[in-house]
Amino acid sequence: MDGPFYRYQADRGAIHPITTDGQTSHRPTRRAPPVTPATPLEPEPVALGIQYDFGYSISVVNASERGGLILELQRATHATLHALASRLAGLDLNASEINVLANLADGLSRSIGELASATATRPTTLTSVLDRLVRKGHVTRELDPADRRSFRVSLTADGRGAAGAAREAMGDLEAAALATITAADIAGFRAVASALTELAR
pLDDT per residue over 136-147, tens digit each?
Answer: 999 999 998 888
pLDDT per residue over 108-135, tens digit each?
Answer: 999 999 999 999 999 899 999 999 999 9
Distance CA 144, CA 146 (A): 5
Give me the residue spans of the domains in the chain: 1-35, 49-87, 92-178
Cβ neighbours of residue 178 under 8 Å, at least 6 residues apart?
A: 186
Instruction: Give per-residue burial for 79-102: e unless 16+ CB within 10 Å, then b.
Output: bbeebbeebbeebebebbbbbbbb
pLDDT per residue over 7-52, tens digit each?
Answer: 444 444 454 555 555 555 555 555 555 555 555 555 444 444 444 3
92-178: CATH number? 1.10.10.10
**C-beta separation of 93 from 162 below 8 A:** yes
Per-residue pLDDT band for 148 (boundaries 50, 70, 90) equals: confident
**C-beta separation of 107 from 167 below 8 A:** no
Average pLDDT estimate for 82-99:
95
